[in-house]
Each structure stands twice: as C-alpha cells, then as structure tokens.
Amino acid sequence: MRTVRTLTVALVLCTCVLLTGLGCSPAAAASGRDGGGHSVPTYFGTVVANIFYIPAKVVFAAAGAVTSGLAYVVTLGDTSVSNSIWNTSVNGDYVVTPRMIEGREPVDFTGK
C-alpha cells in the first residue's frame, strides 16, 4: 500500500511540473516548448502513455520470461525455442519517449 502511495505522489508531482512548465525557461513555457524542442503537451502525453505502457511491458516481459523457462524445460534444453520467446518478450522498449509520441521513432513493444 505504501508503494502505491509513493508512486501516486511521484506521478502527481511529475504531472504538476509538466503542466506548470517548471522544467523549462519562462519564454519556453509561454511558447509551449522546452529547450529540447518538445512541447509541454508532448511531455504530458509521454507521462500518461507511460502510466499504462510500463506496467503492461513489465507484465508481458515477466510472462515471457516464465514461458521461455518453461519452453526450455519442455523442449529438453532446446535454446532456439526459449531464446525466441525470450527475445520477443523481454527485448524492446520499456519506456515511451517524447520522440515516440511525436511519431519520430517507432514504439517497439516486442523485441526483434
């Protein structure tokens, strides 16, 4: 329960910083842009997307890791099967970035 409370407080603080533009100069905040060339709404969208994306990716990776281990045991040590499952589920992006929100980079949920 304490972890959930800490995570909620951190999320609210990050959202407040993004909405008020405290992370950039006053001129950049007034123009809706920060020093890195991303708009404040892009950062807000990144935070909101990560609220859902990160837990989903972690659960997917954990399930893939368990499945990979089971595949290794069931196939009597055939690493090609377990490696394929492992690489698909564990590799990939764990965080959505502003460049992904803007469409400049693809979101790679599954590994290659």
Question: What are 7-52's pLDDT values in tens digits?
Answer: 565 655 555 444 444 444 444 444 454 456 889 999 999 999 999 9
Q: Does the model's pTM come out above 0.75? A: no
Contacts of 80 (CB under 8 A, 6+ apart): none
DSSP string spanning 71-111?
HHHHTTS-HHHHHHHHHHHHSS-SS--HHHHTTSS----S-
CA–CA distance, 87 with 96 (Å, rounded to integer):
19
pLDDT in the model for residue 8: 64
Q: Which residues pair with 39 in a beta bridge?
A: 33
